[in-house]
Amino acid sequence: MSHTSPPGPRTPPRLLVSDHVAGRVSLLDLPDGTERAELDHRHLSEHAGFLALPDGLVACVDERAGELLVLDPYGPGAGRPLVRRRIPVAVPAEHLAADPDGRRLAVTTGLGRNEEAWTGLMTAVDLDAPDGAVAVRVRGRTGEPGVTVLGGASPLVVVRHREPGELLVHRHRRLMRSAPSCPPAAPVRRIALPDDDGHGDAHDPLTGRLFAAAGSGVHRVRQEGDELTPEAPLPWSADGRSGGRGYYLRLDPVRRMLWSCVRGGPGDPGQWPDWSNDAWWHHLDTGETGRLGLGPGLVFRLAVTARHIAFTRVHPDGDELILLTAPPAAGSRPEVEARLPLPAMSGAPRRGGTPWDGVQRRAVAASPGGGLVAVSRGGHGEVHVFDADKAALISTLTVPTPLDDGGHLALVAPGDGAHADPVGR
């Protein structure tokens, strides 16, 4: 993959706004919202999300076209198109990940709009393939698998499955040599997981560890050369707070921490306003772990800024953006610094119904290289931009489509190092 010089230090942050229902992607300057480019008839995979690559590039999957798109957010205005590469991949995309170099990728498939899993296809991608074999599709287990791609002399694709829970280890190089017509791919190793409810994956390129969230905790595997060694799991319980489990897991490359939101409370989705939510964190280098209450309702994904961690909380009594301080010093503990109200959504989830079926949602995005946070207002075609360092709303941007289901966002800044988290978000 050819490399591009990063934009200059005065280049403003930019925001990718995907309306995966209407089929449009907008590229906006921040904080004023000037549109730099648009992509029509592009229905991005909200579940696989955006994946930061080196040199300021971003990858995502177009569900309708069955293509992996490599985007260049700083191309428009510099004589380059927004879309750098288009590579056929199997869909519906479930998860997307890259190796630490950003060269080798993997895309797994999941349910899509189906009630049951029907495809076990996985696509391996080599953006710098010397023989021109850029993407290869193989068949594995059906399900909703997570994926990470580990680096080293022989990069590994690790697929995390549920029911039964296990990690399937493939050599990326072997996958790229697969025959045509989607042949079955046998893993070179299987690592059993004690749970059948895995949900959430992260990868730390510095230590070679991969992490898989499940009901019993965060399961860890350490890479040493070609070997993968399971380690003791990290418990969800911490700081005297117990119960629940995290359904989302991501790496914070600024402070070298893992973050999740631990959800507890009634199992009935109609009682979602009574769910409890705790921010869960783990220092990768010190081993310290903690939990911090966020409040009731629906809290799921989070975003990483240079000095804060941002969560959105949806609740019938009012939605809010929650900003946690995340000091980088060892021994310092995160705290809730601000709770900022968010304008209500007319199609918001209601008590008695599920918080994800036929209702509006919110997406949240930030860059580890700056202090801005973007939050969508599903159904209203609006994105609210906050300055986390000032704990203040600084602009409300309007896009030409409603952002039904909340859309999906990626906030990029020059040289922000976001690719140090090599899992799609």
Q: What is the pLDDT of residues 346-393, one digit of tens each?
A: 999 999 999 998 999 999 999 999 999 999 999 999 999 999 999 999
Whether 2 is in a domain gets the answer: no
Whether 242 is in a domain gets the answer: yes
Model pTM score: 0.96
Instruction: Write out the H or E segment, with its range, that includes residue 174.
Output: helix 172-176
Mean pLDDT, the chain, whole residue set: 95
Structure-block tokens of residue 85: 């590469």
User: Could you give the dihedral angle defined by the CA atoms of residues 314, 294, 253 and 101, in that order, rounded to the nearest 10 degrees?
Assistant: -40
DSSP lists the bridge partners of residue 257 as 252, 283
Contact status, residue 136 vs residue 122, Cβ threshold 8 Å:
no
Residue 3 confidence class, pLDDT cut points 50, 70, 90: low
Whether 57 is in a domain gets the answer: yes
Q: Which domain holds residue 360?
A: 14-420
Query: Tokens 């994800």 label which residue?
Result: 356
Q: What total of structural domains would you count in the chain?
A: 1
The mean pLDDT value for 271-293 works out to: 97
Whether 8 is in a domain gets the answer: no
Whether 231 is in a domain gets the answer: yes
Whether 319 is in a domain gets the answer: yes
pLDDT at 9: 47
Contact status, residue 241 vs residue 291, Cβ threshold 8 Å:
yes
The mean pLDDT value for 300-316 works out to: 97
Whether 397 is in a domain gets the answer: yes
SS3 314: strand
pLDDT at 326: 83
The CATH number given to whatever domain includes residue 309 is 2.130.10.10
